[in-house]
């Protein structure tokens, strides 16, 4: 087994042990609700989104409700999530397309999901992995940061990161691994002050080794 293969395998084993019960933290019951919640989660915490969707999902039951909603009223309903004008337009336009092109049902393929206004690969993969039970890696800021710091990838491009992670992570763990990376990024590998002193992955982290034991990193990479 190659060094990089062993490293990836070990990281995944440790993450699964630590975060085996990890799952998506957005509240939803249907694919449409998850699509809406994920669009609202951009630049917003899941906790805040869940507060907003608690009443939003009671008011807007289906794609038709969003598609035919008064834009200003919808903006006010989602205002606490930030960037509410753009998000309201995305919700209305994506739901219009769901009605026109997909008979009111949120599509269950990546190719179709990314045709919806305001829906990129990350949002599409979140819906696929969590609403439809398909294996998908969704690259958000946490997945980007953690995978780069660990040295599993070397890129800031989300699409490239997704491709590289799909190559080294077994397909049956794609969705779970996304949750593991996100949980690790939120709890330990934080953006400004990563908690390396309590990180159970630090011996496999390029970031930690380069900062605290650079000679060991050189030996590891050689």
Domain ranges within the chain, ordered by starting residue: 3-22+138-221, 31-130
Q: How wide is the angle at C-alpha 115 spanned by C-alphas 166 and 186, nearest 5°? A: 45
> Of 17, 89, 122, 167, which residue is the catalytic one?
122
122 among known catalytic residues: yes
- CA–CA dist 12, 125 (Å, integer): 20
140 among known catalytic residues: yes
| The token pair that represents 173 in the structure block | 């763990």
Question: Topology of domain 31-130, per CATH?
Answer: Endonuclease III; domain 1 (1.10.340)
- Provide mean pLDDT across the span 150-170: 97
Query: Which of 96-105, 125-134, 166-175, 203-212 is least confident?
Result: 203-212
107 DSSP 8-state letter: -
Supply the pTM of this predicted model.
0.92
Q: What percent of the chain has pLDDT over 70?
A: 94
Backbone φ and ψ for 125, nearest 5 degrees, come out as -70, -30
> Of 140, 167, 172, 173, which residue is the catalytic one?
140
Q: Architecture of 3-22+138-221 per CATH?
A: Orthogonal Bundle (1.10)
């Amino acid at each position: 087994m190659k060094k990089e293969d062993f490293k990836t395998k070990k990281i995944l084993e440790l993450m699964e042990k630590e975060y085996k019960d990890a799952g998506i933290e957005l509240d939803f019951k249907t694919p449409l609700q998850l699509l809406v919640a994920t669009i609202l989660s951009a630049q917003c915490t899941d906790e805040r989104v869940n507060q907003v969707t608690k009443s939003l999902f009671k008011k807007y039951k289906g794609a038709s409700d969003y598609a035919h909603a008064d834009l200003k009223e919808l903006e006010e309903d989602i205002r606490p999530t930030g960037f509410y004008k753009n998000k309201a337009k995305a919700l209305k336009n994506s739901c219009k397309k769901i009605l026109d092109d997909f008979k009111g049902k949120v599509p269950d393929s990546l190719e179709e999901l990314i045709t919806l206004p305001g829906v990129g690969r990350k949002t599409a993969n979140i819906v696929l992995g969590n609403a439809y039970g398909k294996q998908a890696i969704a690259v958000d800021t946490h997945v980007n940061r953690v995978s780069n710091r660990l040295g599993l990838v070397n890129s800031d491009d989300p699409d490239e990161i997704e491709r590289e992670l799909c190559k080294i992570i077994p397909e049956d763990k794609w969705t779970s691994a996304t949750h593991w990376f996100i949980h690790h990024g939120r709890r330990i590998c934080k953006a400004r002050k990563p908690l390396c002193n309590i990180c159970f992955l630090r011996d496999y982290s390029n970031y930690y080794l380069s900062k605290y034991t650079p000679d060991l990193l050189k030996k590891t990479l050689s």
